[in-house]
Amino acid sequence: MSMNVVTLLYLVASVCFIQALKGLSNPKTARTGNLFGMIGMAIAMLTTIALIVKEAALLGSNLALGLGLLFAALVIGGAIGAFVAARVEMTKMPELVAAMHSLIGLAAVCIAYAVVCEPAAFGLGGEAAEYPGFLPYGNRIELFIGTFVGAITFSGSVIAFGKLSG
């Protein structure tokens, strides 16, 4: 599977997530929104599994370790989500959404930071011997926008959570 196909699949999953948020904003379309969310997550998970399998076959890395880490993250995240969903009251749902959005913004900032610290791990830069670790200009802009939007999302969501919880 080429990186172009992987990028396309992740883009389709992202569009599904956006449609899920749109659908979940109205009680009449909530079932459709939930379906879009499940389809998007299935696409993202299957693409990630395919990448782990490809990486293991190509580089001889440990397939069981990669799949085990993915499964562990899925179980831990699912358990936390189920615990929080079971305990939250319906009147506290806006607070929960604000808290989850803050984590999404923080994740965007952390990913951008990881790419800047180790660009070769993400297939960026490092090819030219005279410029190891160099990030192309387009990627720098992308990382700046991702960090900026993630930081604004994080701080805005933390403020919203604080206002909603009193």
Of 56, 52, 43, give the one whose Cα is nearest residue 8. 43
pLDDT given at position 133: 60
Sign for the CA dihedral angle at 81, 8, 25, 32 comes to negative
Domain ranges of the chain: 1-87, 88-166
Mean pLDDT by runs of 10 across the 166 residues of the chain is: 84 92 86 93 92 82 85 90 82 82 88 83 61 72 90 92 84
pLDDT in tens, 72-109: 998 998 898 888 778 878 888 888 888 888 888 899 89
What DSSP string runs through 139-156?
A: HHHHHHHHHHHHHHHHHH
